[in-house]
Amino acid sequence: MNEAATARASLRIEGELTIYTAADTKTRLVEALAAADRGLDIDLAEVSEIDSAGLQLLLLAKREAAARGGEVALVNHSAAVLECFDLCNMTATFGDQVVIAAAAQE
């Protein structure tokens, strides 16, 4: 098997993941899902702010991928994402591995 056939697609979200960016982000998510043959990793390392609209978009991505027989993995959660997931008690809902850096716990 060649590497291209087994590679997962990746989408990096930077800045705000809020109601103000939801429409543009949804378009990017839908396009990335359509192009992802082997699954999609959504990199959240550069997300500076997230609200309930952002949570809804991440849930949408998971649901749409599952409906197509695919998978979405949320990776590199930023401090803002971890705080929002914790506040909304959503960490387990997404089912992704969450790594909390020692510096983030201070």
Give residue limits of the domains in the chain.
3-105
The pTM score is: 0.84
Mean pLDDT, the chain, rounded, equals 86
pLDDT at 101: 58
Q: Write out pLDDT tens, residues 38-57.
A: 889 999 999 999 999 999 99
- Asked if residue 47 lies in contact with residue 78, where contact means CB atoms within 8 angstroms, the answer is yes
- Topology given in CATH for the domain delimited by 3-105: Transcription Regulator spoIIAA (3.30.750)
Beta strand residue intervals within the chain, DSSP E: 9-17, 40-50, 72-75
* Sign of torsion over alpha carbons 38, 7, 24, 91: positive
pLDDT at 83: 92
pLDDT band at 37 (very low <50, low <70, confident <90, very high): confident
